[in-house]
Amino acid sequence: MLSLFLIACCIFIAMALLTGVVLYPILTRRTPVQERLGKIADEKTKAASLVAEVPQWQETLGRVGESLPIKPKERSQYTKTLQAAGLKKEILPLFLGSKILLAAVLPCLYAIFYALPKGDLLKPTSILYMAALAIVGFLAPSFWLTHKVEKRKIEIFHTLPDVLDLLTICVEAGLGLDGALVKTCDSPQFKGNPLADEIKVASMETRAGKPRTAALKDMGERTMVDDVKQFVTMLIQTERFGTSLGVALRVHSDSLRTKRRQIAEEAAAKTAIKMLFPLAFLIFPALMVVILGPAFFKFQEVFK
């Protein structure tokens, strides 16, 4: 009885929404005079703004995310992770709101499209499934963010030696460190690269008056890549002690290339072990069927 009542309510709400969608353009239609007056009023009231307007759904989702009670330590960790993924820290409320939204939407979808038609909404298994979907929906944005961070860190690690080579060429050609960093960022080779974007942000902060040491340290903290932090430490020590910047960059680039080659050799050495299970459980049985299949039929004909 309860399931029939819920189905009737869902049908009524769906029909009401469909009717509203059909009648809305007719009821809100304006005359040509009203449209012209509206355009003139919009042009007069339009104000110049340096910041793009945020869509209404993002504002609503951000308010929902701000209502989520989290500790300051967790909020700081979320902010660092968002920056490491190449996102702005200002979207933290939006990220938290997406967690709440998915945690609410996935169980509702399960209840509407699966549990209600079968009449199993109040059964313990359905309640358990909805609770599991709520947990999955709440954790899914965090898993996506972690995957994005790891992918970005790998891309930065593989790009760093090439960036150091170009920096070395610029420094040995007579450019200063700031000019070399700007020249590296503007290179078409690194267009859209996350490391070049981070270097560009550090250069812009330095131009705005922030100390170069602090800007470079912030860049290392944003990327959360140990090799970038070592690169920043090398630049700071070179500037402090007055050693040759070109030699330091060349040595650091060679060490990073050696490390990258060692990682590739380690991954190649693990290939034989990783191929063991597919060979044993997928390829070897198929070969046995092809090789022993004809012999099996021959033995069957002999013993008939």
pLDDT digits (tens, 9 = 90+) for 103-141: 999 988 888 888 888 877 778 888 898 899 999 999 999
CATH number assigned to the domain comprising residue 230: 1.20.81
pLDDT digits (tens, 9 = 90+) for 74-83: 888 999 999 9
* Domain assignment of residue 112, yes or no: no
* Domain assignment of residue 193, yes or no: yes
Among 179, 126, 160, CA closest to 231 = 160
pLDDT digits (tens, 9 = 90+) for 183-236: 888 888 888 889 999 999 998 998 888 898 899 999 989 888 989 999 999 888
CA-to-CA separations, 9 to 5, 43, 98, 116, 239, in angstroms, rounded: 6, 45, 27, 12, 72
DSSP string across 41-97: HHHHH----SSPPPPHHHHHHHHHHHTS---HHHHHHHHHHHHHTT--GGGHHHHHH
pTM over 0.75: no
pLDDT tops 70 at residue 23? no
* Domain assignment of residue 61, yes or no: no
What length is written for the chain?
A: 304
Percent of the chain whose pLDDT exceeds 90: 16
Between residues 156 and 53, the one the model is more confident about: 156
Among 129, 124, 128, 122, CA closest to 6 = 122
Ranking 8-17, 51-60, 196-205, 241-250 by mean pLDDT, the lowest is: 8-17
Query: How many structural domains comprise the chain?
Result: 1
Give the C-alpha separation, 88 to 95, whole Å: 11
Give the C-alpha separation, 252 to 249, whole Å: 5
* Domain assignment of residue 56, yes or no: no
Among 73, 78, 77, CA closest to 92 = 78
pLDDT digits (tens, 9 = 90+) for 29-59: 666 666 665 666 555 444 444 445 667 877 8
Instruction: Please check whether residue 214 is in contact with residue 132, taking contact to mean a CB–CB distance below 8 angstroms.
Output: no
pLDDT at 46: 44
Between residues 289 and 95, the one the model is more confident about: 95
* Domain assignment of residue 256, yes or no: yes
Neighbours of 274 (CB within 10 A): 9
pLDDT at 174: 84
Give the C-alpha separation, 241 to 235, whole Å: 10
Instruction: Please check whether residue 154 is in contact with residue 189, taking contact to mean a CB–CB distance below 8 angstroms.
Output: no
Residue 185 is part of which domain span? Answer: 151-269
* Domain assignment of residue 172, yes or no: yes
Chain mean pLDDT for the chain: 82
